[in-house]
Structure 1
Amino acid sequence: MLSRTLVDLNAERRARRAAILVTDIADGTQRLVRDAEIAADPLAEPLGRHLAAGRSGLIEAEGRTLFLTVQVPPVRLVVIGAVHISQALVPMAAALDLAVTVIDPRTAFASPERFPDVALVPEWPDAALGGSVPALDRYCALAALTHDPKIDDPALIAALTAECFYIGALGSRKTHAARVERLRLAGFTQARIGEIRAPIGLAIGAVSPAEIALSVLAQVVAALRRAPREPGA
C-alpha cells in the first residue's frame, strides 16, 4: 500500500467515515473510495452493497478481479432513557456488537444496579452529547425512549443535526404529532423530521419490553444494512 493511501485511510478512520480500498489482484494497484464518493464511482453498485453489509470480499468487474477492503466505523447505539425497554435492549445490542450508551438524568432509573456492564451517563442529553459522550455522527443510532419531551427532544435535535443513520422515538402517533410540531418550531424541515422512526420499532405486534426492544434493534439493523423501509415505517 502506498504511504499516501495509508495516510488517507487512517484519516477516514479517525474521522469515523467509511471507506473502501479497491485492490486489483492482477497488478496490485489500489485506490481509495470514500463513502461520499461511492455514488459517483463506476463500481457504485458493488461498493454500495459491500459497504451496507460491512464486509470485504472479491468482485469481478470489467474482466478484472478486485478485492474490496471495507472500513466501517464501529457502530454506536445511544439510548435515551434508562427504562424497562432499555434494560432488555442493552444485552441484545451487545450481542450485535453495537457500542451502547444509556443516557438518563433520572438517577433513580440510571443506576449501575439496573444497567451493569454498560456505559451509563446520568446527565441531561444536551449536556452529555458532545461532552462526556462522544458527539453523534452518521454511524450512530439513537433511540429516544423516555416519553418525556424535556429529555427526548434535545437528543432528537442532536441526532437530526448529526444525520444519524437511525433515529427512533417511543410514543403514540398523537404523541409524535406533537413532537413533530415542536421540532418544526425548532427549525427542522418536514422531510428531515420524517427520518424519525415513530412509533419506534418494526411492526411485529410487540407488547412486552423485550419484544419492543427486539423490534427496535431489528429496525436499527435494517437501517444500518440499508434495507428498504416498510410502508409507513
Structure 2
Amino acid sequence: MELAVLEALNAERAARRASILVTELASGRQRLVTPSGIAGDPLAEVLGEALRSGRSRLVEAGNQRLFLTVQVPSPRLVITGAVHISQALAPMASMAGLDVTVIDPRTAFATSERFPGVDLRAEWPDVVLPRIGLDPFTAVAALTHDPKIDDPALTEALAAGCFYVGALGSRKTHGARLERLAARGVSREALATIHAPIGLDIGAASPAEIAVSVLAEIIGELRRRPAMRGQAA
C-alpha cells in the first residue's frame, strides 16, 4: 500500500469517518473513496451499497476484479439519564454491538452498582460530550425528562448529525421541548428528525419494554441510513 493511501486511511479511521479502499486485484493499484466522493465515482452504485451494508467484498466492473475494503466506525449509543429504562437499554444495546455511554450528573443515579460494566459519566452532558465527540455513527437517547440534562445533549446530537436522536416524553412534553430547542437556535428541519415519543409504538409499558422499543428503533435507523449521511470530506 502506498504511504499516502495508508496515511489517508488512518486519518479517516482516527476521525471516525467511513471510507472504502478500492483495490484492483490485477494491478494492485489502490484508491481511497470517502462518502463525499461516491456520487462522482464510476462505481457509485456499488460503493454506496457496500457502505450501507458495511461489508467488504469482491466485485467485478467491466473487465476488472476489485476488492472493496469497507471501513465503517463502530456504532455508539449515548444515553442521558441513569434511569430504569437505561438500566435495561444499556446491556441490550451492548449485546447488539453498540458501544454504550450513560451520562447523568446525578450521582445518586449514576452508580456502578446500577450500571455494572457500562461507561458511566457522572457529569453534565455539555461537559462530557465535547470530550467524547458525537458523529454520524452515534445514536443519542435522552431519557431524563430534565431539560437541564437532555436539552444540551439533544442540541449537540442534532448539530453533529447523529444517525438517531430520540427523546422520552409525551407529545405535549415534546412540544415544549421543541420550543426550548428552537430558542437555542436549532433549525426546524433538525427538530423534525427527533424521534419523540421515543421508541417504536409497540404498546410498551415497563422500563424493559420501552428499552426494547428504543433499541429496535435505533437499529432500524442504523440499517436504513443513507451511505452519504453526515460525512464531510
Provide TM-score, normalisation by structure 1: 0.92
Q: Structure 1 residue aligned with 2:205, among 201, 204, 207?
A: 207
Offset at residue 227 of structure 1 (A):
5.4
| Greater displacement, 167-176 / 201-210 | 201-210
Offset at residue 115 of structure 1 (A):
0.4
1:150 is aligned to: 148
Change over 3 Å in CA distance of 1:194–1:40 after alignment to 2: farther
Q: What is the rounded CA distance, in whole Å, between the counterparts of 2:64 and 2:216 in structure 1?
A: 37
Q: What is the rounded CA distance, in whole Å, between the counterparts of 2:57 and 2:146 in structure 1?
A: 45
Q: Name stretches of at least 5 consecutive residues in structure 2 with no aligned partner.
A: 227-233
Q: What is the rounded CA distance, in whole Å, between the counterparts of 2:18 and 2:206 in structure 1?
A: 36
| Greater displacement, 43-52 / 81-90 | 43-52
Offset at residue 203 of structure 1 (A):
2.1
Secondary structure of the residue aligned to 2:186 is coil
Q: Structure 2 residue aligned with 1:175, among 173, 176, 180?
A: 173
The one-character-per-residue Cα deviations of 1:176-221 (angstroms, maximum 9, x if unpaired) are 1111111111111111111111111122222221221112112212
Change over 3 Å in CA distance of 1:202–1:65 after alignment to 2: farther
The one-character-per-residue Cα deviations of 1:25-64 (angstroms, maximum 9, x if unpaired) are 2322211101222233222222222212211111222343
The one-character-per-residue Cα deviations of 1:137-161 (angstroms, maximum 9, x if unpaired) are 1221110001111110011011111
Higher relative contact order (CA 8 A, sep 6+): 2
Q: What is the rounded CA distance, in whole Å, between the counterparts of 2:170 and 2:52 in structure 1?
A: 31
Pairing of 1:1-233 with structure 2 (within 5 A): 1-131=1-131, 134-226=132-224
Q: What is the rounded CA distance, in whole Å, between the counterparts of 2:21 and 2:158 in structure 1?
A: 30
Q: Report the RMSD for the aligned CA atoms in angstroms.
A: 1.5
Percent identical among aligned pairs is: 64
Q: What is the rounded CA distance, in whole Å, between the counterparts of 1:29 and 1:95 in structure 2?
A: 38
Q: What is the rounded CA distance, in whole Å, between the counterparts of 2:209 and 2:47 in structure 1?
A: 34
Change over 3 Å in CA distance of 1:62–1:222 after alignment to 2: farther
1:231 is aligned to: none
The one-character-per-residue Cα deviations of 1:63-104 (angstroms, maximum 9, x if unpaired) are 432211011112221000011111111111111221111001
Q: What is the rounded CA distance, in whole Å, between the counterparts of 1:156 and 1:186 in structure 2?
A: 11
What is the one-letter code of the residue matched to 1:218?
A
Aligned residues: 226
Secondary structure of the residue aligned to 1:210 is helix
What is the one-letter code of the residue matched to 2:34?
R
Q: What is the rounded CA distance, in whole Å, between the counterparts of 1:47 and 1:211 in structure 2?
A: 37
Secondary structure of the residue aligned to 1:196 is coil
